[in-house]
Structure 1
Amino acid sequence: MKITLSLRSIVQAALIGAVLTISLPAHAASFTSLAPGAAAPYVPGEVLVKFKPATSADARSATLAAKGHSVFAGLNQPGWTQVKVGIGQTVEAALTAYQNDPNVEYVQPNYLYHATTNDTQYSQLWAFKNTGQNIATGTYSPTIGTSGNDMNIEPAWGHITDCSSVVVAVVDTGVNYTQTDLAANMWDGGLAYPNHGFDFIGNDNNPMDLNGHGTHVAGIIGAAGNNSTGTTGVCWQASIMAVRVLDAAGSGTTATIISGINFAVANGAKVINMSLGGGGSLDQAFSTAITNARTNDVVVVVAAGNEDTNNETTPSYPCNFTQQNIVCVAALDQNYALASFSNYGSTSVDVGAPGTNILSTWAGAETVIEDDFSTGWTKTTTTSGGWTTGIFNVGVPTTLLINPSGYPNSTYNNGTDARAYKTFPLTGNVAVFQAAMAINVVNGDHFRIAYKNSGGDPFVGGTIDSDITNMATYPNLVSGSSDISNCISATCSIGFQLTSDASTADKGLAIGFFSITTLALNNTSYNTISGTSMATPEVAGLAAMLRAYNPQYTYTDTVNAIKNGGRAAASLTGKTTTGKAIDVMKSLAYINPPTGLTATVH
């Protein structure tokens, strides 16, 4: 099998050359000493020997035999031979022996070289090669890390870059399958799925990403490598199946997610990436879909979550499911510390991987409109008071839109209809509204959010996006987002309304961190973001690489190689099941213990 033929060179690629300085006698063969600061990785147990032209074949054989060495391979280069040294002998000792041999003109180690990539933004991919570089577009601190704290992927690329024999399903917001760095690496769904997957939000076969998140994930797994464009993925060639289960605002349901998982399994995916999650009770339907994937020998790689919480005490699913085909991933920063946002769990989270300031493909050009409620808002009320603004300390002093003016130390008016709205010019293909809100309204009173693409009062002829009653979140702000793409126009008005009856009232409302993000789809955009969502596809890409390199691997073999091939990271001790960060080369070199063997003693 393939592992037998290639394991020698794989293991060798992980080793580093030693330091050697030798003075050469006048008659000796020459070689380049391995000087401090210039040591290069080389194959242990081998040297390359160039015999002098006058040396006969018999003399060459005798020279090798006298040293206990043998010919490993000819090199199709006159005079040169690849020599395997004797058991227990070092390369350094072999170099010394040959440089003193009168039949030898030159001897050197069999140096190791790795595949390199010409992708134009490769120097910003610290997860693949951390030189301590500054990530220019990074927003997570630190943006400068520690050299060598990376996935150790470059040596692995010397053995495999093509993972296209393994279908990887990105179960997410969809994928922009026209993106220049992804188009060649999308799954061929044939006539049934000409757009490389399925959309369980729109229930059609067009899983175009209207958010960006899924496209970012796909690029980490399999952006085309060595194509003089943008970035590269873990796999330079890939087969990425786009499965859209989250909407433009990044939200989905049990129904959409399990439909996506089952679609991926039924259509031949052997690795599923799910950079998604949520808390709450055990979701049996979701768990059953994971079990279906396990039954069909599918590895499922999932995110630990971004709440900076212990998943042992506050479960996050699918990370906390216990099926053996799951690998749950925490995020590391550029110094290989656990990222400040990353969830963790000594029995639920398995490994860590780079997850901050990760540059990858994006679905299009984004524009973000932020508003602090200071100007341009129309405010109406049927009673006194109504909407106004105030400055509150929510980590930093922040202007919030509030109702009543005495919030949170008074209550809103009874029998009121208070509205606040503003018009925004929106362009692009997608628009998503976001805000953080403290909501305290009694049963029968209502807090509504509405929009209208023709401007003016959105509660007259507009679309009611949210209608909330009987809720109390104070003192906590709760974040919300909504797809308002139908409002894209030069006159999109967005507003908030509080209506109350004549009986009791509560603290009311506080709204902050208002933004509208628009997305104009294109095939050339990239973005730098952070999250366990970014760490997860690095592991999914590794899973695809392992299964492509070892076609006989089961999900068990793959998971074992990921976990056992990792290297210890102090920041993950007690925080994960392994205490390890992934190491691509070591996982590729890992030998799974044989199973099903029996022995008979005579």
Structure 2
Amino acid sequence: MERNSRTELVMAIVAVGLFAAVLWFGPSLARAADVGPGDATTSNRTPHEVLVRFRPGTTTGSRQRILASAGADDVNAISGLPRARRIELEDGQTISEALEELREDDEVAWAQPNIVGHIAETPDDPDFSQLWGFRNTGQNVAGTAGTADADADVDEAWDTSTGAGARIAVVDTGVDATSPDLEDEVDQSLSKNFAASIATGNVDSSDWADQNGHGTHVAGTIAAEGDNGIGVAGTSWDTDLVAVRACDFDGYCDTATVASALAYAGSVGARAVNVSLGFSGTASEASALRSAIAQYPDTLYVVAAGNDSENVEQTQTWPCSLDLDNVICVAATDQEDQLADFSNYGSSSVDLGAPGENILSTVPKIEEKTDDELGNGLSGWSQSPSGGWTLGSLTNGDPYIHLNVSGSTTNATLTTETLDFSGDSSCSSTYYLSARLRTGQSLTEQYSTDGGSTWQSPGPYGAITSQSGIDDEQFYEMSSWLGAADGDDGVLVRFRYASTGASSQAPSIDIAYPLVSCIGTQSAAGSYDIYSGTSMATPQVTGAAALLDGYLPSLDAQQARDALLSSVNELRSLDGKTVTGGRLNVAAALRAAAEESSGDDNDNSEDTGRGGTTVVAGARMRIVAISRTANGRARIKVRVSKAGKLWIKGTRTVAGRTRKLTSAATVTLPVVSRGRAARRLRKRLRSRVYVTVGYRPTGGKSRFRHRWITLNRR
């Protein structure tokens, strides 16, 4: 998820964090239009919806019986997940009651709420010097000087691969394919939208263009065209990019939509999928995400850890916390090789770090129609009653708007000057709201395209009332979709306070940074901006996976994952914070993959100093299966083609084991936790360990295979 500077500023102002409202896996205010009396606005569940997947062989009659007993009013298939359904519940049926009914049935594989989440060779490109994550010379970016070589060594990898032939998918807010740095990289025939229209509720599969900016920024970090004389270069700048839009203009998306998008990305043959978004909840509430990813084991899903500065072993986030062999979870590092202050972390779930602070990349052309910093005060705005809206000052000196009326006031409006949306698309508004409203009081944002004769309320939020969960202790980020006014040259936007008179107490309403913006037409020079977040770190790892695929297309997802994780630069700042304790090193990952790939036919490791020093023709080793048991143990099945010695290397976390073989054989070796891993399993249910299997054919040199294995406590 992106972490923008405005959010940081407002958070600093109010002292109370906005992460629950602004960042990626909080539901924000929940969408106010969907929140009824008694609903918890801190819930991240889509109201009146549950998801279910039936077991194989369940008959049509049984499905109908199960759905009826759960109180289904409307049922739709979840694209990409066989036997899975999205259920809208009938009036009076609660989510909890429906889930209880579904989970008790033996023909149901899983049932969950529909959770809401959010979006966590050197080229001649003129802004390449700003890409500190690729090559850090200590240069100043966004006012921060870095530490030399605190980077992912991306530029060193480009002499080996630029990702030619690799297909990568981005599941996000869409991609702006009109960006000159992306127009030749996006596969428009395969790109697809899964997000429903705010205006109609329907899904237009061809509407995959970015309405937010987040997805385009991510896409640029992965695949912006290099050596084209403009803008920036992506990590893998010869890559075939598939845009898969799952999130709305404001960055929100639900589990069913994201699951379909993840499945589609795997179905089109993407070798890696970037997933810079996430959800909070329990493991049972991540069932749809797990099913979507698990059914494409040879696609590597690279996911963001999130931006709450939290330990995800204690506060699980999804898909990061999924225990699947084709998932890599990424934390963010800063320009000095420290864990970024906003980044989540986790010694068992977050695999590695990558540069994620002050990252320059492609964005859509954003046309700002209002001055969100109110540099001219309320000049140009019209208000009623006169003097009813005044300016206050935030602690950083920026102005905010304050409604200054008594409890007897029944109506007050604040209206922008006429705004010109002609030639623009995806218009929207954002603002930060702090409010305390009493019974009968409401605040609504509205727009007009006929000079104010009629007013309409944009989606997805309805009126803010005393039931909406807003308070005046902090600011909440709000957003509204104004796309219905796209192309109009006479648009007015207003805030309207109304009261039925049920309360004599004055309302408390403060509005900061009101911004109306649209997406305009890209210039030949393109548009670029600096974002920070684990969302910006994740595409660097996805891009590295693309480089691996372009270099060694025979690698499977597990081999690519092993190469990325076994080649990190170990950092003290990430020790105990990630599984590997290190930061991405792209050049080293390519070297590791090359050594692993060549190991079937020749030496891929340094000589141990024992045994022979020559390559034994036809000597091969292959890991054919891994099975996990309990009590910190697992089994790894290895096939070798010649007599020799086979062993598991003893480490601080895994006990050593050795077998002597007199002929070709398939052998099962035990993996037993020790030391740090054993201690971790006394406190936790799982622990990930790095296992090295060695094989030295008689008279030959040693070669190795590496795997990350999750051990279970019970």
TM above 0.5, yes or no, is yes
Aligned to 2:471: 473
SS of 2:416's equivalent in the other structure is strand
Counterparts of 2:438 and 2:350, CA distance in 1:
40
* TM-score of the pair, normalised by structure 1: 0.70
Structure showing greater radius of gyration is 1
Aligned to 1:449: 445
More deviation, 523-532/561-570: 523-532
Cα distance, 1:232 vs structure 2: 1.6
SS of 1:528's equivalent in the other structure is strand
Which one of the candidate residues 412, 418, 423 is aligned to 1:418?
A: 412
5+ residue gaps, structure 1 = 1-114, 406-411
Counterparts of 2:322 and 2:509, CA distance in 1:
37
Cα distance, 1:450 vs structure 2: 0.9
- Name the CA shift for 1:376/1:180 in 2 (closer, same or farther; >3 Å): closer
Aligned to 1:482: 480
Cα distance, 1:479 vs structure 2: 0.7
Aligned to 1:601: 661
Counterparts of 2:501 and 2:178, CA distance in 1:
56
Counterparts of 1:508 and 1:435, CA distance in 2:
16
Aligned to 1:119: 125
Aligned to 1:553: 555
Does residue 400 in structure 1 map to residue 391 in structure 2? no
- Per-residue CA shift, 1:309-362, capped at 9, x if unaligned? 443444433333333322222222222222333333333322211122322222
Cα distance, 1:546 vs structure 2: 2.0
Does residue 379 in structure 1 map to residue 390 in structure 2? no
Cα distance, 1:154 vs structure 2: 2.6
Aligned to 1:500: 499
SS of 1:518's equivalent in the other structure is strand
SS of 2:252's equivalent in the other structure is coil
Counterparts of 1:313 and 1:168, CA distance in 2:
31
- Name the CA shift for 1:287/1:326 in 2 (closer, same or farther; >3 Å): farther
Within a 5 Å distance, the mapping from 1:76-95 to structure 2 comes to: none
Does residue 432 in structure 1 map to residue 435 in structure 2? no
- Name the CA shift for 1:276/1:292 in 2 (closer, same or farther; >3 Å): closer
Cα distance, 1:404 vs structure 2: 4.5
5+ residue gaps, structure 2 = 1-120, 197-202, 597-620, 625-637, 641-659, 663-714
Aligned to 2:326: 325
Within a 5 Å distance, the mapping from 1:103-252 to structure 2 comes to: 115-135=121-141, 138=142, 141-142=143-144, 144-164=145-165, 166-187=166-187, 189=189, 193=190, 196-198=191-193, 200-201=195-196, 202-252=203-253
- Name the CA shift for 1:400/1:226 in 2 (closer, same or farther; >3 Å): closer
Within a 5 Å distance, the mapping from 1:51-90 to structure 2 comes to: none
- Per-residue CA shift, 1:530-560, capped at 9, x if unaligned? 2222111111111122233333333222222
Cα distance, 1:368 vs structure 2: 6.0
Aligned to 1:491: 490
User: What residue identity is the alignment partner of 1:376?
Assistant: G
Counterparts of 1:129 and 1:434, CA distance in 2:
35
- Check the 8 A contact 1:389/1:399 in 2, yes or no: no
- Per-residue CA shift, 1:179-211, capped at 9, x if unaligned? 33223322363xxx4xx4345344222422233
- Name the CA shift for 1:187/1:589 in 2 (closer, same or farther; >3 Å): same
- Name the CA shift for 1:429/1:498 in 2 (closer, same or farther; >3 Å): same
Aligned to 2:389: 388
Counterparts of 1:174 and 1:313, CA distance in 2:
31
Within a 5 Å distance, the mapping from 1:258-269 to structure 2 comes to: 258-269=259-270
Counterparts of 2:387 and 2:471, CA distance in 1:
20
Aligned to 1:51: none
User: What residue identity is the alignment partner of 1:236?
Assistant: W
Which one of the candidate residues 536, 539, 542 is aligned to 1:540?
A: 542
SS of 1:547's equivalent in the other structure is helix
Aligned-pair identity in percent equals 31
- Per-residue CA shift, 1:223-275, capped at 9, x if unaligned? 22233333221112111001112233333232332221122122222211112
User: What residue identity is the alignment partner of 2:136?
Assistant: N
SS of 1:237's equivalent in the other structure is coil
- Check the 8 A contact 1:423/1:493 in 2, yes or no: yes
User: What residue identity is the alignment partner of 2:305?
Assistant: A
Counterparts of 2:548 and 2:290, CA distance in 1:
21
Counterparts of 2:301 and 2:408, CA distance in 1:
53
Does residue 566 in structure 1 map to residue 568 in structure 2? yes
- Name the CA shift for 1:485/1:325 in 2 (closer, same or farther; >3 Å): same
SS of 1:185's equivalent in the other structure is coil
Within a 5 Å distance, the mapping from 1:257-406 to structure 2 comes to: 257-278=258-279, 280-282=280-282, 287-297=287-297, 298-367=299-368, 369-371=370-372, 372=374, 374-380=378-384, 387-393=388-394, 395-404=395-404
- Check the 8 A contact 1:386/1:418 in 2, yes or no: no
- Check the 8 A contact 2:194/2:260 in 1, yes or no: no
- Per-residue CA shift, 1:560-590, capped at 9, x if unaligned? 2222211112322332222211000111222
- Check the 8 A contact 1:415/1:501 in 2, yes or no: no
Counterparts of 2:231 and 2:391, CA distance in 1:
45
User: What residue identity is the alignment partner of 2:380?
Assistant: G
Counterparts of 1:472 and 1:227, CA distance in 2:
48
Counterparts of 2:470 and 2:178, CA distance in 1:
45
More deviation, 310-319/261-270: 310-319
User: What residue identity is the alignment partner of 2:480?
Assistant: S
- Check the 8 A contact 1:258/1:286 in 2, yes or no: no
- Per-residue CA shift, 1:285-309, capped at 9, x if unaligned? 7542343323312211112223334
- Name the CA shift for 1:598/1:264 in 2 (closer, same or farther; >3 Å): closer
User: What residue identity is the alignment partner of 2:443?
Assistant: F
Counterparts of 1:286 and 1:205, CA distance in 2:
27
* TM-score of the pair, normalised by structure 2: 0.60
- Check the 8 A contact 1:272/1:299 in 2, yes or no: yes
Aligned to 1:516: 516
- Name the CA shift for 1:468/1:526 in 2 (closer, same or farther; >3 Å): same
SS of 1:154's equivalent in the other structure is helix
- Check the 8 A contact 1:440/1:506 in 2, yes or no: no
Cα distance, 1:506 vs structure 2: 7.2
User: What residue identity is the alignment partner of 1:589?
Assistant: R
More deviation, 482-491/153-162: 482-491
User: What residue identity is the alignment partner of 1:375?
Assistant: S
Counterparts of 1:287 and 1:443, CA distance in 2:
40
- Check the 8 A contact 2:225/2:233 in 1, yes or no: yes
Aligned to 1:24: none
Counterparts of 2:343 and 2:294, CA distance in 1:
26
- Check the 8 A contact 2:472/2:508 in 1, yes or no: no
User: What residue identity is the alignment partner of 1:449?
Assistant: E
- Check the 8 A contact 1:448/1:464 in 2, yes or no: no
- Name the CA shift for 1:126/1:398 in 2 (closer, same or farther; >3 Å): closer
SS of 1:337's equivalent in the other structure is coil
Cα distance, 1:283 vs structure 2: 7.5
Counterparts of 1:503 and 1:188, CA distance in 2:
55
SS of 2:317's equivalent in the other structure is coil
User: What residue identity is the alignment partner of 1:120?
Assistant: P
> What is the number of residues matched between the two proteins?
464
User: What residue identity is the alignment partner of 2:210?
Assistant: D
- Name the CA shift for 1:517/1:558 in 2 (closer, same or farther; >3 Å): same
Counterparts of 1:476 and 1:560, CA distance in 2:
44
Cα distance, 1:443 vs structure 2: 5.0
Counterparts of 2:410 and 2:237, CA distance in 1:
61
- Check the 8 A contact 2:176/2:209 in 1, yes or no: yes
Cα distance, 1:119 vs structure 2: 2.7
- Check the 8 A contact 1:167/1:187 in 2, yes or no: no
Cα distance, 1:494 vs structure 2: 1.7
